[in-house]
Chains A and B, each alone.
Chain A
Amino acid sequence: MLKTFKIGGVHPPENKLTSGNPIEILPLPKTVFIPVAQHIGAPAVPLVKKGDAVKAGQLIAKSSSFVSTNIHSSVSGTVKRVDFQADSSGYPKQGIYVDVQGDEWLEEIDQSKDLVKTFDFDSETIVKKIQEAGIVGLGGATFPTHVKLIPPKGMKAEVLLINGVECEPYLTSDHRLMLEKPDEILIGIQLLMKAMNVEKAVIGIENNKPDAIKLLSEKAKEYKGISVTALKVKYPQGGEKQLIKAVTGKEVPPGGLPIATGAVVNNVGTAFAVYEAIQKNKPLFERVVTITGKNVAKPSNFLVRIGTPTSELLEAAGGMPENTGKIISGGPMMGRALASIDVPVTKGTSGVLLMQKEEAKRDTVLACIRCSRCVSVCPMGLEPYLLMTLSEKQIFDRCESNHIMDCIECGSCSYTCPSDRPLLDYIRFGKGKVGQIIRSRNK
């Protein structure tokens, strides 16, 4: 029996169109727009002004607090201006426009392809380097990685879990990375283990990627303490709590941090970024992005500089297909619909998905037939039909007592509802309100 998490979960069609397409380097765009807030936490503070010359890898915006992170230029060229533009959230965000000239990287970055296996750093140095390199969770959560590595007082990490699940349909960027950069990922994992002072790391990979499971299991033999666990395919296994449950059998208590189970989760992409940051002195300024969709001419996996407009990816994938109705940053279950193709690729962009007009349309909402499907698929053990009604009627105290704040917004409920009820839309609204109520109560 393959391991998986116990309650809830769905199995949307996988549609991994690009799992066989090697990562290609996307040509440099003419201009990039690099937002200063690409992560959870405080936005970084710009260090450059109009007219400054920058190189790829140069720090251009500085972390402003502990939960924040550095931003580096992804290209060489001239700062055009520091201004606001809508990012994937749809809201205008501050960022830095750089006109691309040539491709000059900072001298200290090792641009060779050689694998650098050994390292001799202590835990603090590794955490510090990760912080300086601006690394955040690359699975899409974009939580600053250095914060995760320092456990709160009284807690101790016992095991590092590496998320190679990629449970969102369509996306293949992690899959390709595992196939093409296995050693780099494993060295990155060793660095993370050292940073956290743990002896054990487990890579969780869903069974729909047998090639990655095989390759990493083979390679992991050379690295002490690292093993691979094959998981049964089930969405949302990439959710931190679900992954911990699937691999270790432990459940993060409600409202608690994952570290309460002794586990810290990082994404395979993050492990790769850690390798590059420490072994190659390369800050995080590019990432793998899947561009895909049923009607995309050349669905691909690209290595993309941060700040590249989505339109460039589209062009490289054969242009915008006729009849495109929706553009999603991320996967179809949790991704965000973009209002414009000017939105830049950021550290959290794992993919861009183009949907046909028909696919993008939502069906008519019908009455709840109390079929309990939403209840049985909820991975958090909630009652979505009830939370929707309570949110709709604005009965927020009962939303709270029915644990609305536990919702991880995985979308399994809305996905499943045969009456096409927009459960998560209402639950998000209720969650927002209950969040406000809780914060004002704690003041």
Chain B
Amino acid sequence: MSNLFTVSPSPHVHSAETTSKIMYRVVYAMIPALLWSVFVFGLDALRVTLIAIVACLAFEYVIQKYLMKIKPMITDGSALITGILLAFNVPANLPWWIIIIGALAAVGIGKLSFGGLGSNIFNPALVGRVFLLISFPVQMTSWPVLSEGEVDGLTTATPLGIIKEGLTSGTPVSQIAQDLPSSTDMLLGQMSGSLGEISALLLILGGVYMLIKKVITWHIPVSVIVTVAAIAALFWLIDPERYVNPIYHILTGGLMLGAIYMATDMVTSPMTPKGQLIFGAGIGIITISIRMFGAYPEGISFAILIMNAFTPLINNYVKPKRFGGN
């Protein structure tokens, strides 16, 4: 019998939680919305998602191995999430090479240029998305027409796109509303939009799973959604002919996707519940401002990226309650 015992400082036990378990739970949470996108947009959705995933994993591997010269960490699940989220944020008819450029921007610029998982300031998938939105504005805003599993080359606008266009040309809301999907269709996801953003219901379902599994807390999603709803409702009550029902703001334009899956990215969001509430409220305010007064019909991507930049500052000023302190 060897008498050599491990002598290390306490604690001597560790919880069963691991980083990759947490990451894979996020992946599981996105599966219902992914399946729905295949149902709505057909195999195109699957094509986009697979290309995005493979590209993200490949870039992660190559850059880590040959440029950063570290052990590639592609099995930790984080590049997988980035791939799925990138796909969720683009139209289902996006050409393959644009997706690959997006993956390079997401993983290369968004994540690894900062030092890799945990060191990045911005949500990688959003860096990819915004990069594409600026570089390929036409392809990124041409949405396939829904035809139950068939995409026939025709393109259409998203609900928020229709609203933006209508309002800019001075059409009253009551008239625009005729072209908009019903609330039920928006909730279920019978509308055009980015691949993974359309079914609010399934996105919420995945969010509830992540809440139960303690991957996220309620603070960020709730504060984003409540802020958007409150401001939208305020304007709507003042002038319902110039501002749309808040329901459109909540159920469309990727708000659920952003609030539940991207703003909650733990690497790029604040540490304390209070900080997270401030962060979420900030995202809500910026989102609704862009939508109402800005050039883009949507806006949550920009809002999240802007608040990502404020995260270090929030962490610096919003501290947890010290035991025995006030």
Q: Which residues of A contact B (CB under 8 A)?
A: 7, 10, 12-13, 90, 169, 241, 245, 251-254, 256, 320, 324-328, 332-341, 353, 355, 357, 359-363, 366-373, 375, 378-383, 385, 403, 406, 409, 411-412, 414-416, 418-420, 424-425, 428
Contact = CB atoms under 8 A, between A and B. Distances in A.
Given A367-B116, A383-B319, A253 B10 contact: no
Contacts, number: 151
A372 B7 CA distance: 28
A335 B15 contact: no
Interface stretch (B17-25, B173-181, B202-210, B252-260): B17-25
Given A327-B5, A381-B325, A418-B22, A424 B320 contact: no
A418 B21 contact: yes
Contact of A333 (B11, B268, B271): B11
Contacts of B13: 12-13, 169, 332-333, 359, 415
A385 to B, nearest CB: 8
Contacts of B17: 373, 416, 418
B237 interface: no
B322 A380 contact: yes
Interface residues of B, number: 36
Nearest to B11: A411
Interface in B263-314: 266-268, 271-272
A339 B3 CA distance: 9
Nearest to B267: A370
A411 B10 contact: yes
Contact of A424 (B3, B9, B323): B9
A412 B14 CA distance: 9
A12 B15 CA distance: 7
Nearest to B3: A340
Contact of A337 (B1, B8, B116, B323): B8
Given A369-B78, A373-B17, A416-B17, 5 more contacts: A320-B1, A325-B6, A383-B271, A383-B320, A415-B14
Contact of A326 (B3, B5, B272, B321): B5
B11 A418 contact: no
A368 B118 contact: yes
A381 B15 contact: no
A115 B203 CA distance: 66
Contacts of B321: 7, 381
The interface residues of chain A, by DSSP majority, are classed as loop
B117 interface: yes
Contacts of B1: 320
Given A337-B7, A355-B12, A419-B19, A367 B118 contact: yes
A375 B324 contact: no
B320 A378 contact: yes
A372 B266 contact: yes
A359 to B, nearest CB: 8
A418 B14 CA distance: 9
Q: Choose among A362, A367, A373, A412 the residue with the greatest number of B CB atoms under 10 Å from its CB.
A: A367
A399 to B, nearest CB: 14
Contact of B10 (A256, A335, A338): A335
Contacts of A324: 5
A369 B6 contact: no
Contacts of A381: 320-323, 325
B119 A367 contact: yes
A254 B323 contact: yes
A415 B21 CA distance: 16
A370 B12 contact: no
Nearest to A419: B19
Contacts of A375: 271-272, 320
A412 B13 CA distance: 10
Contact of A362 (B3, B8, B268, B322): B8
B10 A360 contact: no
Contact of A418 (B18, B78, B117, B272): B18
A414 B19 contact: no
16 contacts: A253-B325, A326-B12, A327-B5, A333-B12, A337-B5, A361-B6, A363-B18, A367-B117, A369-B117, A369-B267, A370-B118, A380-B322, A380-B323, A382-B320, A415-B15, A418-B17
Contacts of A368: 118
